[in-house]
Structure 1
């Protein structure tokens, strides 16, 4: 990391008070040689609110290039839905009742089974952001405000989607039963509310897809492509939505049927959770990890224990690091330090257990994400690739007691503790 730490590094509204005291300060200047936040450097440059915020950001053990992260999603990737919620959260002086209506409508909308391009289109319609002739003429971009297809009326969004001669014929052929005459005296937003309130979920999905298909055909014809018959426009919309929803249903079915997965980077498998600790097979070793946090002192405790098929402890550690992350980030960090610790000792693990389901699910997913959490998961995948037979498994807390006790013990001592071929004294309380 080499970029300057300034106002551009704010991650969200909760960071509004951030003010760097030294414009030449780099993020790298705040990280020590152990890839942890340097408390001395952080404390000497920032106030307590900023210190707490910085210590909430987990650090990868491997230096990497800077990347832009959208803090409105768990993946770190920008989505229209999260952008909308962020924008509305910044809106001021809105009537409480009106806000509830909008939030309720958008909540229903985001649950619809629609492809992303269609969601974006509807969002633009709702906010009068599609380039109809009337709006382009108002901005002195188009020579005329009239509809380029029927040339009879000014082309507003309601006209283009519902009132143009071509659009009317498509709706007449469809199974959607609405009073489209209302569009003449309604805004696009108002008619979307009306359609949502007067159709079933499946019909509303079909309604929005037909709107998109009508607009798609309008643009094609505007750019001198041969016009389609209204029946063909309707058939295209029906077929498009049907294929999309069938593909989504098949994807969900495939994911549900899968019981394990081989990760391309780590070749680690994810198995089902259990209630009690179970010894591995003869000749195998099982690693359990956990994390705990003292929020007041901003210290994270990490615990790990390696046991054989007889349940005997081969190695264990209890370690504290600086910070106070989200629960899943701390659990992933515990895995990173435990795997690094095993590699340094020359030990191996065949089964790796954590009581964080989010970590296991994150390792199972093959999607490309940019969040701090996923940066730590990348560390896990890199390290676990050194254990080619290792399975990463979720267990319940009751099956992870030893690691839990060692993680909490780390919060009470000032030094890292490692035990080899001996029973750690802190575990005497849970024998």
Structure 2
């Protein structure tokens, strides 16, 4: 059973599903903004084409479609059932919309910051993070400092990222690295 899940998508699987999604540049009856009709390339070729020619929204939708195809294939392998191509499209569209709505943050509200560093409660650690993004550099970087309740540094991290991201997104990556570092060190931490 696992061998069938690990095999590569066949050209026919991808082509049949993509051809079922009618071509439109602007959303029409099928709501598909991607040019998918007539793609006779492998999944990798299609991905590279879309990566080099598409907008961020096109990429989100493309990968949602790829996931929906994969999900449908797993249904066939495990349950001997499948979705119709239109159902695969609607599933991909819903997944993409859910992703966009869950990734929408209110970054406009100002953050209140204490005038001085406040230690965490006894037995906990405090994770402080920062980011650096410059329009002049081709990458962003994150910094993490973890302190105990006495203010002593327990761990620190400085890491360049592979590309440049917005300041807001780089801050999210800094938070992620801070939490992962604390988990790796098995430190007790909490939101203070």
TM-score band by shorter chain is 0.3 to 0.5
TM-score under structure 2 normalisation? 0.45
The higher radius of gyration belongs to 1
TM-score under structure 1 normalisation? 0.22
